Each structure stands twice: as structure tokens, then as C-alpha cells.
Structure 1
Amino acid sequence: MSGFDEGGVYYSDQQFVSAGAAADEAALPSRAQALSKFGEFIRTFQIDPKSGAFPYADQLARRKDSLRVDIGHLSHPVYGAPELATALVDNPAEYLPIFEQAARQESQRIQNLMEDGSDPEVKEVQVMLFKSETSRSRVPHVSMRDIKPEAYVSKLVIVPGIITAASRPKHKATYLTIQCKECKATKRIACRPGVGGAMIPRMCDAAALPGQSNQCGTDPYIVLADKSECVDQQTLKMQERPEDVPTGDLPRSMMCLVDRRLVGSVSPGTRVTAVGILSIFQGKDGGGNQRDKAGAVAIRQPYLRVIGFQEDVLNGDTARRPTFSLEEEVEFKEFAAQPGAMERIFARIAPQIFGSPDIKKAIASLLFGGARKRMPDGTYRRGDINVLLLGDPSTAKSQFLKFTSKTAPIAVYTSGKGSSAAGLTASVIRTISIAKAGITTMLRSRTSVLAAANPPSGRYDDLKSAQENIDLQSTILSRFDLIFIVKDERSVERDMQIARHVLDVHRLAGAQPEADEEEKREEAFLKRYIEYCRQSCSPRITDSAAKLLANEYVELRAESKRAASADGSDIPAIPVTVRQLEAVIRIAESLAKMNLQTVATEAHVRQALELFKISTMDAVKSGLMDVAVFTDEQRQEIHRVEEQIKRRVAIGSFVSERKLVDELVRVGFNENLVRKGLMFLQTTGDFEYRRERRLVHRMK
């Protein structure tokens, strides 16, 4: 996005007036009227007159420099000021400063009363707007795909999304003090908000001496930085929510600007509903400006000048620990103590998806996570679990991703080329910076990754080796704790079960309100329970479980080596290393965390090992051809291939693998079947395979 990355930023004067704007301006309150009514609203508004509380006046009494206002309260027909709400929606750039001026005056008045006659100065008050779920207002609620510049530019809008990136805070000038280099005359000019700047005069307008002309020349002004006024400003990148992205499309994103006390209020990964002014700026496309026939810059890009986030987002900063009521804690502990609590959690993972119980267990483990550990040397061992789903299309991989992004406390959903391997290959901690593509930034690496992909050929090919099907570097694969090969199994009974399940989901959608409400309550409970377990429980593996795991790890390594030899390779496509040992530890800890247990026992380790073998170890051995997956014709063809190889290679001689395959292909055999036949002969010991020379040796 132009403007988000470091580089030149251009601004727009936003001199766009709709057809009926002149007529509408006459109906809007004047500046003096608006200032008086805004002040009255702050002083007198009450949600419940019986309570005697004045929420906005009380806010200014507690914190004199900021005021959070529900835009729906302004629209209230009895206690609010609907004409002010209309003015803010239609012309926020003009009426928001008036609102802030009224808030500053009221804050000054309240501080004077509280300080017993003293006169504490209130320089400014930032008004931050939001819309609660219960309030009503005429502010349009717009998705990123529905934003139309001709309808919403310079208007107040509400846009939901997920913050995916945040720039470093910068200083934005609000007022510049300029001085003429010749006559030393000074002048104070205002800067436009957002990415807007200030137009510095090219000629000095100071009064010349009588009878003399101005001799200051062209462009005489310089900026006096020490006498200028600045505020903090930050650029955010907001992406569409997963549920708003149509199937098959990439998520859209837009640039957002926040300033003053909104800077640093949200972190990447936070789901927000932003209230802001839709603005535009002149941007670049590629290497230079695109200009129309008249020579004017034709590229104008939209951005959102945010003036408030939702209440729960602003107060629930993702950097702080979530809070739980006493009733919630009691409910969570009772749930964890019940028999079969873990199975109930597994059942709540993507209930709309039929089958795949092992994948659901893996996703549950990912959501709960293991225990993060700090080593004596100051380094950390991650507790986050990464899972890879690879296989045939139409096996619910994307649905698992969307369920996880909706259920996880903080999540970012991305697809296609929008994702990068850098997040998996880079291991960083605080004090570490990364420079890439001219951007230097600070990163926090604590995250879990749930990835889904199709094989290079589109479908998983049983006639190819694991390396050919997965086609990912071992440096990437080793960072996934669990790897699932997802196949579209051909079974009449299973197909009938899936068909019935899918039809029931579509047939009963919305037809059972009570069942739908129960499902929503279970989703909300699961999300809060995950947050509670992650915060309050950090289990460690017991000594007996550690001994069991050590013995099993040695056996897993040997099994991986045997699978690699049978696949005709010295190195397995998915190597089993110490990282996989740590993966099993994290899975065992996450299983213990589901029951709020402080230790991971042998039972948890056995469950983790079973899940690891079903997923990653099956993927390790997926290069071995299982005769059961082939038809009779394929098995007969492979048998003929084996006979031809035995005739071609004499006992004790060496033959190049490539040459042998090419010869058999020329006489009409399928290349994949030739390689599988050669693999079978190597597995049974008839051939010795030398990787460095790529030769096969016919044994005696």
C-alpha cells in the first residue's frame, strides 16, 4: 500500500462537494450553536436519569485530556442532540474540532471547580467516537468492499476489520511557525489533518516600508521547528475480517491513521470496529505518478482517519492480560473437573465439519498451546504450536482455518501470496530488528500458525514420493509440530455420511433458533475458556513422562530413517529432529492445559505421541507405496516394471537411475510406475541405491 510503507506521502485538499451539499449546509447548526449544544450535551446527558450519573462529565473529571463518546448517544431523540449527530456524520472534519473545543471548555470548567478556585490549564481534549452494540445512529456501517468514494469521502463511517500491521509512531505537525529569511517576519499556519500538509507561501506578505517594494524574493520562508506544534501519529493497516471475505477471494486491506492518544492503543492481530473519516490522498503507482491528459495526478487512494475504536477494543488492549469474573472462574474450574472435559472440547472444534477427529484434536492443541519457558541464558522456548494441513481440495482445510481465526483470542487470516515464509523462518525476540525490502521494523514472534495448502499437482498423488507431493523445504516443515496429509477418500459409505451431514447443515440453517443460540453460547464459552487456560495454567512435564518420551523419540528417529531408506533417499522429506521432540512436549502440555492441570503426565504424553504418529509420522512414511491404494491394473503394471528392471540390470552391475527410467518410458511404461517399481525393489533389498552417484546396484 502506498503511504503505509516508508516513503513519500502525498495529501489531498479534499475539495469535493456533492450536488446537494450547498442546500444541506444551510440546515446544519452554525459554529456558535454547535459549540453551545456540544457543551450542553457533555454537561447534561444521562443514560438513566434515575441514577443521577452524568457519564461524560464524570469522564472529564477523571481524565481531563480525553473523552470517549458513544455516537449513538448523540442521536438519542430525548437526551441527545440529533442535529449534532447529523452534522458529525455529514461534515466531521468541521464539527469534530468544535466538539473537541467544547470538551476542552467543559474540562476546564470542571477542573476549576475541583481545584477550589485555582486555574489549571487544559490545553486540549481528544474526542474519540465509538458505537456500542445497543446504541443506534445513522453512521453508515461499511465493509471495505462496499466503500465508494463518491458516497463516503469526507463522511463519518464505521469499518470493521483486523489490524495486521502498525508503523512506528511519528510526529505530525498541526501548526507550523515560518520565518522570512530576509525581513525576519514570522507567521503561523495550520496543517491539514490526516496525511495533509500545509501550503507555505512563496512570497513574503510582511508589510514593506513606505515607498519601498518587498525585497524578500521568492520562497523566503523557513520552518522554525522549535516553535511549531506537533502530535503523535501512527499508520495502521487494517484487513477484512475472515467472515467478510467471499470464497476464493483474497482479503482486502486499507490504510488507517490514528493520532494522539489512539497511537499504540491497538496491536497487530486485534479485531476492531473503527469509526473514522474516509479520506483520500494522492498516491504513486509503481515507479512514478500516473497523470491524466491535463497533467494532474490521477491516482487517489482512500484511507481512514480513525477517531475512535470500539469500547472493548480500546479498553481491552491486547498487550494486557484479560480479566475474568468470579462466576466465570468457578464455571471454568467446574468444567475442567468434569469427566470427559477434553472430549467435549474436541467436539466443539468446528462442529459443522464432518469427521476429521484427529485434525480437530490438533487444532484444539494449537488454540490452547503449550507452556512458554525462559531459559537461564535469557532465551525462550516457544509454547505455540504450528499445524500444517496438506492434501486434496474440498477437504474442509479452509473451513478449519476460518473457524480457528474466529475462535482464537487474536488471529489474522491470510491466503494466497499474501502469506510469507518469513514468519516461520525468522526467530526473533524483543531488541531484535529485521530489515527487508527497505523497511526496518521491530517484530514480536510469539504466534501459532495453522497453514493449509494443496500439493503442486493440485491433488495428492500416491504414485509420487512424499518430497514430490509436499514440495516444501525441510527448514519450513521442521517448524510445524503436526503435519496432516488430508486425502479425499473414495468410499461409498463415507461419501453418503458426508452428503447427509452437509445437507442437514444447509437444511437446518436458521430453522432452529434455539439450537443456533446454543451453538453461539458454546462458541463464546470455548473462546473465553481458551483465554482463561492460556493465562492461568502453565503445565510442566513430569519425570516419568520425560523418560517415556525419551525412549519413544529414539524409536521415532529410527522409524524415520527406515522410511527415508525405503523411499530411495538418505534424508526423509519430513525429518524427525529435536524440534519434533519439543513438539510432542508442547502437545502434551496443551492437553494438560485443557483440564487446568499443572503437570503433563504419562497419559498426556501417550496421547500426544498418538496424535504425532497419526499426523507427522504418517506423513513421513507417505512416500512408501501402500499396495492397498492401487487398482489391480496398477499392481500388474508395477509387477511388469519390476520384471523389466531385473532383466535390464545384470547382477553386480551399476546403472544410472535416470537412464534406466528413460529406457523404460521409451518402451511405453509410465514414469511414476517405473519409479515405484524401482522403489519396491530397493525396499526388498534387491537393489542398492547410491545417492551421490544416482546409481542403482543389482545385488547378488
Structure 2
Amino acid sequence: MSSPLRPSNSAANRGLGSLNRRKRDREPEDETSSIAPPSSPPPSSPPMLPFDDEDDDRDEEAELLADIDDLEEMAEDGEGIDLFGDNFERDYHSRKNDRYRGNDIDDEEQEELDIATRRQLDSRMNRRDRELARRRRMPAAFLQDEDDDNIDLARQPRRRRHHYDEDREDMDMGEDGTEELSLEEMMDIKAANVTDWVLQPQVLRSIYREFKTFLTEYTDDSGASVYGNKIKTLGEVNSASLEVSWVHLSNTKAVLAYFVANEPTEVLKVFDQVALDVTLFHYPQYHDIHNEIHVRIIDLPTVSTLRQLRQSHLNSLVRVTGVVTRRSGVFPQLKYIMFVCGKCNITLGPFQQEASQEVKISYCQNCQSRGPFTVNSEKTIYRNYQKLTLQESPGSVPAGRLPRQREVILLADLIDSAKPGDEVEVTGIYRNSYDAQLNNKNGFPVFATIIEANHIIKSHDQMAGFHLTEEDEREIRALSRDPDIVDKIIRSIAPSIYGHHDVKTAIALSLFGGVSKEAQGKMSIRGDINVLLLGDPGTAKSQVLKYVEKTAHRAVFATGQGASAVGLTASVRRDPLTSEWTLEGGALVLADRGTCLIDEFDKMNDQDRTSIHEAMEQQTISISKAGIVTTLQARCAVVAAANPIGGRYNSTAPFSANVELTEPILSRFDILCVVRDLVDPTEDERLANFVVESHHRANPARPIRNVKGELVDNDNNPIDEEGYRIDKRGNRLPLTQEETASREAAQRKMEEEKEGEIPQELLRKYILYARERCHPKLYQIDQDKVARLFADMRRESLATGAYPITVRHLEAIMRIAESFCKMRLSEYCSSQDIDRAIAVTVESFIGSQKVSCKKALSRAFAKYTLSRPKPQSRRRAGVPAPNPYLPRAVPRA
């Protein structure tokens, strides 16, 4: 019996035969001798030795070693397998099992998929591969037994496929041999903090790859590339900023969206590099225009106020709103510094200048000396630097609090993107900065805070900070089709104030405003409507101004007693950091594209009132102080309230004799409203009922419970939840005739109020929509009628001695007509709008006259006011509209 370690004779013979054959194969043969018979199987190829160079001149010692190895392999195989047995030809006969059935073969033709469907399927397969790879990277002890043998075999092809699929840009990020990570695997990386996590090489490479995939593959609902079009537009306009939506990033790459919000400093550097590489792929010569492309993050979901910023927001991305009050000049800031050694004259650097600390070098790498070192100004790279002072918006400051401020740093192409008076929305990095003055003042280390802007946009570009949904717009358009919409809007102005129909009409006209124009020669004609309220004390003038402050999309409130000329216009102050003179806008500048409210207008000094002449007509403020000569925008409507001389209005004297205002300032107000407090028992009773009901609605009645906890009325009778009296069995008792009438009257009054007024939130949206979307044009107006009215008003003004009528009042008629047209959301002013504007102008003119002239003027101007449209509700009810031009008592509030 042969040993398993020694081959048998037959095996040895076969081994020698195969060895001889291999020797013959190594010898050079003719082409004819190398051709095998057709029926013979193909000969097996000889085993290749490591580092075999296949030279014909191989020495005998190498051949002997190869033969010995072959014999050892034969001995280990034991008996082996005889490939050339007696019946070896049976292996080549056909079998029925060699034919496959067609049941499992899908030979149907498939429809061609569109690009969006393909990308969705590719994304699903990628997620499946990533999940499979994540499971295979788990420790072997946690895997099933049948997977143990396939762990190493599955990982190596995966790594090799990643290696061949890498782009050249990815290889340039670092060649440290680290393995690339998917988004899910990035979450498994451990670090002490977010900064250390981001700075790891494999994480940086993965962020680079994933963000590049996002820019190149993100599509909208139609399958079009979103950021491909943005990059194309960027190249067309030679811009250096690429806006990326945080919402888009969070929907597809949530990990990137999370870390760009929590560690924006390092992540944005990678984003900028990706944006530059992708731009250079489309525009290879773009680096000749811009060396950097900055990614601007927009649509950050959380909007904070300056008052809400805390320590937890440091070094993270924040989104705040405010008004720019001060802007510095543009300075060069060091970005990459080059030093020159004073001893060996060698240039050192570049060294990147960080925002937190100054770059200092201790020794020269060439001569090992310690300096001195000077900055090489020619080779040092600078960037633009500008500082803004952002203040809380006037409408967002809590009552009784001072507005907060923050310094905003603008870099690169964000320079001069906002000016004093602009309401802006800033997205940036909330940082801390060392301030020596602050430390000396407090006596212990305290850091100042700044916002390094990443993206800045003016609020009026986004509908003044209000976002109207499609449902809001549909509701607004449906409301504009109401034929009585103008009167509904007027009734909805200050609903908590009784009466004052003429005042509410003027306020509504000012809130909607007209259309600004530029005449020939580039002369600007204002479109805002200025209103002056003059009347007795206690007639709700200040309450009307407070209502406008809450309703207008942008309003600034000031008082004449506490306001100065520079407080209303603009001031010049020295910047504590740069020691340069900077401009700081006043109330009129801060109210740009809004409304400026001035209470106690008569208490202002004459010099202070003179300073706002330019702002009220030209809507600009010219500054020429401390070497600064410039012009600021003050495109706002002015609504002022004043008290007459002596405290009460004297109806026997003209308007100019009742107020200490000069004619130039009076002519700049489009509408003058005189509010009188006259004694009228009927109106006083109505006023008292209105005030009492207002207090009653503000404090709704609560159900009364007795000692047993049962609901009872004022007479201690048991009632149910709806206020009905019940008997001992719990059944409702029928209401008396007085109770029925009282309930019906209350229900009817509630329905009338609900039908006649617009909800305040909807009214604010309606005003905003009209101001932003509606720009009516004057079309087919009765020019002769307007001209005759202007001539008659000038003649009567000269005869009665009232305030003078100028061309500004003629322009006011056009602005008022455009405002009425905006209330209807119409594109063209109709004859009804002109008639309404004429009626308001005539009412304002007659109301400011002496009591002895009012009746005569009412009859003289009746021909211009008879065509004034009446409210639809009054025409339907058959109630005649009161004549607003006759003397009547104006109730108090």
C-alpha cells in the first residue's frame, strides 16, 4: 500500500509524462508541430513562475527547480485526476439539462426611461450599495456565519471600483491613502467637536465629492439642472457668487446642510473650492476674471432677531433682519501676507490672515534669524472690507425697549450691497472679536460680537419681509372683485376708533400710496401721500398714528418734542474703530419705502421743521458735513398730528391762523384733516355705547358658578353652556320676548360688523400686495374738469385767506386717484377714481375754511362732488349717504 506522501507508479509515470511534455513545450517548435489534432482537447498551459520574463535562454538550474516544484505538487495532490481516461469524450456530449427554460428569462422590450426616472433609479441603487457596504464593514462577530467567508472578497472590489471612479479633482484633495466615505459613513466618524470632525482629511474629501455631486446632479420637478443654469448665468454676468438654497441641500444632502449651519467656516471653504472647479469646467478661462467663487447660503429656515442672538449661536450660521443705520468706507484687508527678512532679504510666505488673530512669524527659515520682518506690499494679497451697523427694525422692537445693534462685516463682492436706511436680511457667521476698549471698560475679558455676512438681500426685494402664499394671493384677488371694496377698506381702518370717516379715508390713501414717476429731464415726482391731522385734544389723533405704525409694513414713529433735525434726517459721527466720519440715518431715512409718523408736529422747532422740507417733496436728504457730500433716500409718506394754537381749534379763524406752521410746510401735505370735538347729545350717546361695547368685547363675560359648581345667570337661575335657562329636569326653558330680541340684535350686529370689515391680518397683506404688484396708469381722465377745479380752488383760497393752493395740490389729486385705483387692484384709473379724488380734495379744502365760508363753498363746489360714487351697501339698503361737506359734529374717541 502506497503512502499518501509518496506517489504511486502510475501517478509517477503520469507526472513524468506531463513533465516531459512541459519540457517539450519550452523548446522551440515549428508551427506545424504545434498544431494539435481537431479531436484532441486543448493542452493545458504551463504554470507561470513569479517574475518569469519568458526568455528563451533560461539556465538549467532554474528548469531543475521548476521540475522539483512540479513533482512536489503532484505528491501533495495524491492520486490526482486523469483527464485523458478511457471515456473522456462523454464530457463533450450534449445533455438535456444544458438547455435553459425561458420561464425565468425576461425578453420583453422595455420603454426608454427619461432622465429624471433614470436618476431616481440610480439614486436607489446607490443607496442600496452604500447600505450593503456599511453592513459588510461591520465586525465579523456581528455578521452571520454564511457571510464570514465573503467579507474580504466583497470589500476589495468595492474599494477598487471607488479607486477607478475617482475624479482628478477628488485626487487633488489629498493623497493620504484614506478611504472615501459615504454620507452615512461620515456620521460614524468620531471627533471631540464639530471643527475637528470637519478638518479630518477623509471627511473633507467626502464633503468635496458630495457637494460636487449636488451641484451637478440636483434637478427641479421638470428634470432641469438647477445649479447648472445658475452657473451658466454666473458666467454670463461675470459674477463671483453662487447662491445655494439650504432647503435644496437639506432635501438631498442632509449631512452637508447640518454641518454648513453648525461649522460654516471650514465647510464653506470646501464649497467655494467646489464651486470654482465646477465653474472652471464650464468656463476654463474664468480664473482670469475671478480667482474665487463664493457660495452664498440662502433660505436658511430659522430667522432670528438681533435681540435673540446668544452664546449658543457663536461660530454658526444665523439669519437676521434689521435696518442699516451706518456704513463705513471700503478698506483693504490682508488675506495672504508675504514677509521679507531684513537680514537675508528672502521673501517668506504666503501666510493666511485669520479673522481671530494677527499673523506673526518668530524666525526666518533661511537664515534662522529673528528678524526684523517687513510686509511685502507688492506680493501681499488684499481683499475688500466694509462694516455696517445693523439695527433692529422699528416694528420689531418691544415696547419700552431700546433697539439692539450688531456690526456686520462685508467682504469680497458684498461691498456696497446696502446703504443706510435699507432694511436688509443678512445670512452670516456669528463670531466673537477681541475688543481692547471693552476689556478695559469692564475690567475682565469680554469679547465683542460681529456677523460676517455670507449673503445679504434687501427686504423690499422679498416683499418687505412678508411672504404671501398662493392662497393669500387668491383670497386677495377675490376680495378685490367686490364692488364695495373701497368702502370696506376705509371701514376696516382703525375699527376700534368711532367715527372719523374723513381721517380713516386719508389714512387708507396714505397706506396704499400713489405711483412715483420720473418726468422729462429725470425729475422725480413722488408718489407717497402726506397727511396732516389737526384737531382738538382727545380726538384720537395719536391712536390713529399708533394704528398706522402697527398696520404699515414699515413705519417709524417719532415725536416732535423729542425729535431734532439730525434725528429726523441724518447725522455724521466718528467711527470708533477706524476714526473716520460715517453717516447715520434718521427717522425719515429709516422709514424709506414706508411711513414716517410724527406726533406733536407743532412742538418742533422751526429750524427742525425746515430740515424736512426736502424729504417731504423730493424724498431725498442732502448731507454736506465733515467732508462728506452725499444724498440719502427718504422715499416715505409723512403722517403728522398737531394741536391747534391755544389747545382748541377756532372755527372762526382760517386754518393758517390755528396752527404755527409755515406755508411751505403746509403745501407739502396732500390732505389736511380738521378734527373737532363738538357737543352733540345724540353723537355723545353713540360714542359712549361704542366705547362701553369695546371694553365689553375686550373682557368677555365668563360663566358664573354657584357653590355647587353649577352654571347660573345673574339672578342665580340655572343655565346651560349656551346661556339658556333650564328647569330642574335639565330641559331648556323657552326664551322670553325680550331675550329673543336681544339675542337677535346682537347676532345681527355681529354679522354686520363681520360683513363690513376686513380682518386686520388680511388687510395688511392686501396693502402690501397692492403696493408691490399694482402700478396703475392714468387713462382717459377728464382733464378739463380737473383744470377747472384747480382754478376755482385757487380763486376761493385767495378770497377766503385760507392756506394757499399750489401745483402740489394738483399733483395730489393724481396721487389720490392712483391710490383709489390700487384699492381695486386695477391697472388703469377710471373716472370714478378721479371723482373720488376730487371729492377728498374738496372736502380737505372746505374743512380747513372758516365756518362762515363753509356753506357757500359747499354750494360752489357741489358740481364737482355730485358724481362721487356712493357706497354699495347704502344704495342697497336705501339709506342716503351723509353729506361730508356740511358742518357736523365729529365724535370723540
TM-score normalised by length of structure 1: 0.62
Distance in 2 of aligned mates of 1:331 and 1:617: 35
Residue pair 2:211, 2:271 contacting (<8 A) in 1 also: no
| Matched residue, 2:568 | 420
Matched, 1:259 2:411: yes
| Matched residue, 1:479 | 668
Describe how 1:347-358 pairs up with structure 2 within 5 A: 347=491, 349=493, 355-358=499-502
Describe how 1:68-107 pairs up with structure 2 within 5 A: 68-75=243-250, 79-82=252-255, 84-105=256-277, 107=278
| Matched residue, 2:631 | 442
Distance in 2 of aligned mates of 1:184 and 1:487: 86
Amino acid at match of 1:579: R
Distance in 2 of aligned mates of 1:36 and 1:521: 50
Residue pair 1:157, 1:276 contacting (<8 A) in 2 also: yes
Matched, 1:24 2:193: yes
| Worse overlay, 42-51 or 520-529 | 42-51
| Matched residue, 1:221 | 374
Deviations 1:550-572 (A, max 9, x none): 233224523662x5xxxxxxxxx
Amino acid at match of 1:305: E
Flag the 1:386–1:192 CA change in 2: closer, same or farther, 3 A: farther
CA positional deviation for 1:420:
0.5
Residue pair 1:540, 1:589 contacting (<8 A) in 2 also: no
Residue pair 1:92, 1:277 contacting (<8 A) in 2 also: yes
Residue pair 2:334, 2:353 contacting (<8 A) in 1 also: yes
| Matched residue, 1:583 | 812
| Matched residue, 1:278 | 430
Matched, 1:154 2:315: yes
Amino acid at match of 1:279: R
| Matched residue, 1:365 | 509
Distance in 2 of aligned mates of 1:96 and 1:488: 64
Distance in 2 of aligned mates of 1:192 and 1:623: 77
Flag the 1:317–1:492 CA change in 2: closer, same or farther, 3 A: closer
Flag the 1:585–1:314 CA change in 2: closer, same or farther, 3 A: closer
Residue pair 2:198, 2:267 contacting (<8 A) in 1 also: no
Matched, 1:238 2:411: no
Distance in 2 of aligned mates of 1:315 and 1:462: 44
Q: Name which of 543, 547, 561 aligns with 1:400.
A: 547
Residue pair 1:174, 1:190 contacting (<8 A) in 2 also: yes
| Matched residue, 2:158 | none
| Matched residue, 1:696 | none
| Matched residue, 1:127 | 295
| Matched residue, 2:771 | 530
CA positional deviation for 1:329:
11
| Matched residue, 2:639 | 451
Deviations 1:223-267 (A, max 9, x none): 51x544344444444343444222344544433333334445556
| Matched residue, 2:789 | 549
Amino acid at match of 1:413: V
Deviations 1:86-117 (A, max 9, x none): 44444433433233234334x25xx43x57xx
CA positional deviation for 1:455:
4.5
Deviations 1:354-411 (A, max 9, x none): 54332332233224434545454543333332223456575523333224532xxxx4
Deviations 1:612-631 (A, max 9, x none): 4555764576999xxxxxxx
Flag the 1:397–1:103 CA change in 2: closer, same or farther, 3 A: same
Matched, 1:608 2:837: yes
Residue pair 2:549, 2:555 contacting (<8 A) in 1 also: no
Corresponding residue SS for 2:508: helix
Flag the 1:242–1:600 CA change in 2: closer, same or farther, 3 A: same
Residue pair 1:242, 1:402 contacting (<8 A) in 2 also: no
| Matched residue, 2:36 | none
Aligned length: 543
Corresponding residue SS for 2:408: strand
Amino acid at match of 1:308: H
Give the number of the structure with larger relative contact order, counting CA–CA contacts within 8 Å between residues 6 or more apart.
1
Residue pair 1:539, 1:589 contacting (<8 A) in 2 also: no
Residue pair 1:540, 1:598 contacting (<8 A) in 2 also: no
Matched, 1:495 2:663: no
| Matched residue, 1:191 | 353
Flag the 1:611–1:547 CA change in 2: closer, same or farther, 3 A: same
Q: Name which of 527, 530, 545 aligns with 1:386.
A: 530
Flag the 1:611–1:302 CA change in 2: closer, same or farther, 3 A: farther
Corresponding residue SS for 2:633: coil
CA positional deviation for 1:507:
6.0
CA positional deviation for 1:585:
4.3
Q: Which has the larger radius of gyration?
A: 2
| Matched residue, 1:5 | none
Distance in 2 of aligned mates of 1:503 and 1:262: 54
CA positional deviation for 1:544:
1.3
Cα RMSD after superposing both structures:
5.1
| Matched residue, 2:241 | 66
Corresponding residue SS for 2:840: helix
Flag the 1:540–1:442 CA change in 2: closer, same or farther, 3 A: farther
| Matched residue, 1:306 | 453
Residue pair 2:511, 2:767 contacting (<8 A) in 1 also: no
Amino acid at match of 2:254: A
Flag the 1:268–1:307 CA change in 2: closer, same or farther, 3 A: same
Distance in 2 of aligned mates of 1:266 and 1:538: 33
Identity of aligned residues (%): 25
Flag the 1:314–1:207 CA change in 2: closer, same or farther, 3 A: farther
Corresponding residue SS for 2:198: coil
Distance in 1 of aligned mates of 2:312 and 2:416: 30
Corresponding residue SS for 2:358: coil
Corresponding residue SS for 1:28: helix
Describe how 1:459-474 pairs up with structure 2 within 5 A: 460-462=647-649, 474=663
Distance in 2 of aligned mates of 1:49 and 1:375: 43
Residue pair 1:549, 1:605 contacting (<8 A) in 2 also: no
Q: Which runs of 5+ in 1 are unaligned?
A: 1-21, 564-573, 625-700
Q: Name which of 293, 297, 306 aligns with 1:144.
A: 306
Q: Name which of 199, 208, 218 aligns with 1:39.
A: 208
CA positional deviation for 1:126:
1.1
Corresponding residue SS for 1:441: strand
Amino acid at match of 1:379: M
Flag the 1:239–1:290 CA change in 2: closer, same or farther, 3 A: closer
Amino acid at match of 1:524: K
Amino acid at match of 1:532: R
CA positional deviation for 1:191:
3.3
Deviations 1:485-517 (A, max 9, x none): 557788342132144346547869xxx9x9999
Flag the 1:264–1:291 CA change in 2: closer, same or farther, 3 A: closer
Corresponding residue SS for 1:479: coil
Distance in 2 of aligned mates of 1:267 and 1:497: 47
Distance in 1 of aligned mates of 2:550 and 2:639: 13
Flag the 1:38–1:352 CA change in 2: closer, same or farther, 3 A: farther
Deviations 1:535-586 (A, max 9, x none): x52558643123322233224523662x5xxxxxxxxxx6554434443443
| Matched residue, 1:649 | none
Deviations 1:120-145 (A, max 9, x none): 6473221212336xx6xxx6x43222
Residue pair 1:67, 1:126 contacting (<8 A) in 2 also: yes
TM-score normalised by length of structure 2: 0.50
